[in-house]
Amino acid sequence: MRRLIYAANWKMHHGPVAARAFVERFNSVVQPADGRDLWFFPPAVSLAATAEAFGARPDVRVGAQNVYWAAKGAFTGECSVALAAEAGARGALVGHSERRHVFGETDAETALKVAALLEGGLTPMLCVGEQLSEREAGHTEAAVRRQLRAALAERTPEQLARLMVAYEPVWAIGTGRNATPADAAAVHRVIRHELAALHAPGDVPVLYGGSVNAGNVLALLAEPELDGVLVGGASLDPDGWAELVGLGG
Protein backbone atom coordinates (compact mmCIF):
# COMPACT_ATOMS: atom_id res chain seq x y z
CA MET A 1 0.00 0.00 0.00
CA ARG A 2 1.22 3.49 -0.84
CA ARG A 3 2.51 5.26 2.27
CA LEU A 4 2.14 9.05 2.35
CA ILE A 5 4.35 11.48 4.23
CA TYR A 6 3.04 14.78 5.57
CA ALA A 7 5.89 17.06 6.65
CA ALA A 8 5.27 20.32 8.52
CA ASN A 9 7.98 22.98 8.33
CA TRP A 10 7.19 25.58 10.97
CA LYS A 11 10.05 27.85 9.84
CA MET A 12 10.53 30.69 12.37
CA HIS A 13 7.25 30.12 14.21
CA HIS A 14 6.18 28.42 17.45
CA GLY A 15 8.48 28.71 20.45
CA PRO A 16 8.50 25.90 23.03
CA VAL A 17 5.26 26.99 24.73
CA ALA A 18 3.38 27.30 21.45
CA ALA A 19 4.88 24.03 20.21
CA ARG A 20 3.62 22.12 23.24
CA ALA A 21 0.16 23.66 22.87
CA PHE A 22 0.13 22.72 19.18
CA VAL A 23 1.00 19.10 19.93
CA GLU A 24 -1.61 18.84 22.69
CA ARG A 25 -4.33 20.07 20.36
CA PHE A 26 -3.14 18.06 17.35
CA ASN A 27 -2.96 14.83 19.36
CA SER A 28 -6.52 15.38 20.55
CA VAL A 29 -7.93 15.47 17.03
CA VAL A 30 -5.60 13.29 14.92
CA GLN A 31 -4.88 9.66 15.67
CA PRO A 32 -2.27 7.44 13.97
CA ALA A 33 -3.47 5.98 10.68
CA ASP A 34 -2.24 3.18 8.46
CA GLY A 35 -0.33 4.35 5.41
CA ARG A 36 0.60 7.76 6.80
CA ASP A 37 3.74 9.19 8.43
CA LEU A 38 3.98 12.65 9.96
CA TRP A 39 7.14 14.75 10.17
CA PHE A 40 7.46 18.02 12.09
CA PHE A 41 10.33 20.46 11.62
CA PRO A 42 10.11 23.08 14.41
CA PRO A 43 12.63 25.88 14.97
CA ALA A 44 15.74 24.80 16.86
CA VAL A 45 14.61 26.28 20.18
CA SER A 46 11.45 24.15 20.03
CA LEU A 47 12.98 20.90 18.83
CA ALA A 48 13.23 19.24 22.24
CA ALA A 49 9.83 20.52 23.38
CA THR A 50 8.12 19.19 20.25
CA ALA A 51 9.83 15.80 20.45
CA GLU A 52 9.02 15.45 24.16
CA ALA A 53 5.39 16.47 23.63
CA PHE A 54 4.85 13.85 20.92
CA GLY A 55 6.68 11.26 23.01
CA ALA A 56 6.60 7.78 21.52
CA ARG A 57 3.72 8.42 19.12
CA PRO A 58 4.55 5.85 16.42
CA ASP A 59 3.52 7.82 13.33
CA VAL A 60 5.40 11.03 14.21
CA ARG A 61 9.03 11.97 13.70
CA VAL A 62 10.55 15.32 14.57
CA GLY A 63 13.41 16.87 12.63
CA ALA A 64 15.66 19.91 12.59
CA GLN A 65 15.28 22.65 10.02
CA ASN A 66 19.03 22.87 9.55
CA VAL A 67 22.29 21.32 10.78
CA TYR A 68 25.98 22.04 10.44
CA TRP A 69 28.34 19.36 9.17
CA ALA A 70 31.11 19.66 11.77
CA ALA A 71 30.83 17.42 14.84
CA LYS A 72 31.74 20.20 17.27
CA GLY A 73 33.78 23.37 17.51
CA ALA A 74 33.73 27.16 17.45
CA PHE A 75 30.71 27.59 15.18
CA THR A 76 28.53 30.10 17.01
CA GLY A 77 24.86 29.79 16.15
CA GLU A 78 25.13 26.39 14.47
CA CYS A 79 23.76 22.99 15.52
CA SER A 80 25.58 19.73 14.88
CA VAL A 81 23.87 16.48 13.94
CA ALA A 82 24.68 15.00 17.35
CA LEU A 83 23.19 17.99 19.19
CA ALA A 84 20.03 17.81 17.08
CA ALA A 85 19.73 14.09 17.75
CA GLU A 86 20.14 14.60 21.49
CA ALA A 87 17.28 17.12 21.36
CA GLY A 88 15.05 14.52 19.72
CA ALA A 89 15.61 14.97 15.99
CA ARG A 90 15.22 11.94 13.74
CA GLY A 91 16.18 13.84 10.60
CA ALA A 92 16.70 17.30 9.13
CA LEU A 93 15.88 19.45 6.15
CA VAL A 94 18.80 20.10 3.81
CA GLY A 95 18.96 22.68 1.05
CA HIS A 96 15.56 24.26 1.67
CA SER A 97 15.03 27.10 -0.78
CA GLU A 98 15.25 29.66 2.00
CA ARG A 99 18.58 28.22 3.16
CA ARG A 100 19.87 28.36 -0.42
CA HIS A 101 18.53 31.73 -1.52
CA VAL A 102 18.29 33.73 1.72
CA PHE A 103 21.36 32.37 3.52
CA GLY A 104 23.50 31.40 0.56
CA GLU A 105 23.76 27.66 1.16
CA THR A 106 25.65 26.12 -1.75
CA ASP A 107 25.31 22.79 -3.50
CA ALA A 108 28.62 21.77 -1.95
CA GLU A 109 27.33 22.57 1.53
CA THR A 110 24.21 20.48 0.98
CA ALA A 111 26.52 17.54 0.21
CA LEU A 112 28.38 18.05 3.48
CA LYS A 113 25.14 18.21 5.45
CA VAL A 114 23.67 15.10 3.81
CA ALA A 115 26.87 13.19 4.58
CA ALA A 116 26.91 14.37 8.20
CA LEU A 117 23.28 13.39 8.75
CA LEU A 118 23.76 9.94 7.27
CA GLU A 119 26.91 9.36 9.29
CA GLY A 120 25.05 10.50 12.40
CA GLY A 121 22.15 8.14 11.81
CA LEU A 122 19.56 10.78 10.92
CA THR A 123 17.35 11.05 7.83
CA PRO A 124 18.07 13.87 5.38
CA MET A 125 15.15 15.44 3.57
CA LEU A 126 16.97 16.99 0.63
CA CYS A 127 15.08 19.90 -0.94
CA VAL A 128 15.60 20.71 -4.62
CA GLY A 129 13.89 23.10 -6.99
CA GLU A 130 14.27 25.75 -9.62
CA GLN A 131 13.95 29.51 -9.48
CA LEU A 132 11.38 31.30 -11.64
CA SER A 133 14.07 32.46 -14.07
CA GLU A 134 15.27 28.88 -14.51
CA ARG A 135 11.75 27.63 -15.11
CA GLU A 136 10.99 30.35 -17.66
CA ALA A 137 14.25 29.53 -19.47
CA GLY A 138 13.35 25.84 -19.63
CA HIS A 139 16.10 24.85 -17.18
CA THR A 140 13.97 23.17 -14.50
CA GLU A 141 15.29 19.67 -15.18
CA ALA A 142 18.90 20.82 -15.34
CA ALA A 143 18.61 22.71 -12.04
CA VAL A 144 17.03 19.78 -10.22
CA ARG A 145 19.50 17.24 -11.62
CA ARG A 146 22.44 19.48 -10.67
CA GLN A 147 21.25 19.82 -7.08
CA LEU A 148 20.68 16.09 -6.73
CA ARG A 149 24.05 15.13 -8.18
CA ALA A 150 25.90 17.69 -6.08
CA ALA A 151 24.38 16.45 -2.83
CA LEU A 152 24.27 12.72 -3.50
CA ALA A 153 26.96 11.68 -5.99
CA GLU A 154 29.34 10.42 -3.28
CA ARG A 155 26.72 8.47 -1.34
CA THR A 156 26.33 4.68 -1.49
CA PRO A 157 23.08 2.94 -2.46
CA GLU A 158 22.69 1.87 1.16
CA GLN A 159 22.95 5.48 2.29
CA LEU A 160 20.57 6.71 -0.40
CA ALA A 161 17.98 4.22 0.85
CA ARG A 162 17.70 6.36 4.00
CA LEU A 163 17.00 9.57 2.09
CA MET A 164 13.89 11.62 1.42
CA VAL A 165 13.67 14.23 -1.33
CA ALA A 166 11.32 17.21 -1.53
CA TYR A 167 10.72 19.07 -4.78
CA GLU A 168 9.94 22.68 -3.98
CA PRO A 169 9.90 25.13 -6.90
CA VAL A 170 11.35 28.32 -5.44
CA TRP A 171 8.76 30.49 -7.16
CA ALA A 172 5.98 28.65 -5.30
CA ILE A 173 7.35 28.92 -1.74
CA GLY A 174 5.06 31.11 0.33
CA THR A 175 3.69 32.89 -2.76
CA GLY A 176 0.28 31.28 -2.98
CA ARG A 177 1.30 29.87 -6.37
CA ASN A 178 1.96 26.19 -6.79
CA ALA A 179 2.90 23.89 -9.62
CA THR A 180 -0.03 22.06 -11.15
CA PRO A 181 -0.27 18.41 -10.14
CA ALA A 182 0.85 17.40 -13.63
CA ASP A 183 3.82 19.79 -13.51
CA ALA A 184 4.85 18.49 -10.09
CA ALA A 185 4.54 14.88 -11.24
CA ALA A 186 6.69 15.59 -14.31
CA VAL A 187 9.52 16.94 -12.16
CA HIS A 188 9.12 14.06 -9.72
CA ARG A 189 9.71 11.68 -12.61
CA VAL A 190 12.92 13.56 -13.41
CA ILE A 191 13.99 13.24 -9.78
CA ARG A 192 13.30 9.50 -9.76
CA HIS A 193 15.25 9.05 -12.99
CA GLU A 194 18.23 10.90 -11.51
CA LEU A 195 18.03 8.93 -8.26
CA ALA A 196 18.05 5.71 -10.28
CA ALA A 197 21.14 6.95 -12.15
CA LEU A 198 22.78 7.48 -8.75
CA HIS A 199 21.87 3.87 -7.83
CA ALA A 200 19.29 4.80 -5.23
CA PRO A 201 16.53 2.27 -4.56
CA GLY A 202 13.23 2.91 -6.30
CA ASP A 203 11.27 3.54 -3.12
CA VAL A 204 13.02 6.74 -1.96
CA PRO A 205 10.12 9.04 -0.95
CA VAL A 206 9.74 12.15 -3.12
CA LEU A 207 7.51 14.89 -1.68
CA TYR A 208 6.15 18.12 -3.15
CA GLY A 209 6.38 21.47 -1.37
CA GLY A 210 5.19 24.85 -2.53
CA SER A 211 2.06 26.60 -1.22
CA VAL A 212 0.34 23.30 -0.42
CA ASN A 213 -2.98 23.75 1.39
CA ALA A 214 -6.26 21.98 2.10
CA GLY A 215 -7.64 23.21 -1.21
CA ASN A 216 -5.02 21.58 -3.44
CA VAL A 217 -3.52 18.69 -1.45
CA LEU A 218 -5.93 16.04 -2.79
CA ALA A 219 -5.25 16.95 -6.41
CA LEU A 220 -1.51 16.84 -5.76
CA LEU A 221 -1.60 13.50 -3.96
CA ALA A 222 -3.77 12.01 -6.70
CA GLU A 223 -0.57 11.95 -8.76
CA PRO A 224 1.12 8.60 -8.06
CA GLU A 225 4.56 10.18 -8.44
CA LEU A 226 4.03 12.19 -5.24
CA ASP A 227 4.74 10.38 -1.97
CA GLY A 228 3.61 13.25 0.22
CA VAL A 229 3.88 16.96 0.85
CA LEU A 230 6.20 19.38 2.65
CA VAL A 231 4.06 22.21 4.00
CA GLY A 232 4.93 25.57 5.52
CA GLY A 233 2.24 28.12 6.34
CA ALA A 234 -0.66 25.68 6.19
CA SER A 235 0.97 23.56 8.92
CA LEU A 236 1.10 26.28 11.59
CA ASP A 237 -2.44 25.89 12.95
CA PRO A 238 -3.12 22.51 14.59
CA ASP A 239 -6.73 22.33 13.42
CA GLY A 240 -5.87 23.39 9.89
CA TRP A 241 -2.99 20.91 9.76
CA ALA A 242 -5.25 18.20 11.14
CA GLU A 243 -7.77 18.92 8.37
CA LEU A 244 -5.10 18.79 5.66
CA VAL A 245 -3.61 15.56 6.99
CA GLY A 246 -7.06 14.01 7.30
CA LEU A 247 -8.02 14.83 3.72
CA GLY A 248 -5.38 12.48 2.38
CA GLY A 249 -6.36 9.65 4.67
Q: Enumerate the active-site residues.
A: 96, 168
Residues 50-77 as b or e (16 or more Cβ within 10 Å = b): bbebbeebebbbbbbbbbbbeeeeeeee
3-state secondary structure of 17: helix
CA distances to 38, 98, 143, 226, 227 from 185, in Å: 21, 23, 16, 7, 10
User: 217 in helix, strand or coil?
Assistant: helix
- Is residue 237 within 8 A of residue 215, CB to CB? The reply is no
- DSSP assignment letter at 66: -
Distance from C-alpha of 211 to C-alpha of 91, rounded to nearest angstrom: 22
Distance (Å, whole) CA 117 – CA 97: 19
Phi first, then psi: give them for residue 204, nearest 5 degrees: -60, 125
Closest of 126, 151, 148, 129 to residue 139, by C-alpha = 129
Amino acid identity for residue 40 in this structure: F
CA distances from 32 to 59, 207, 209 (A): 6, 20, 23
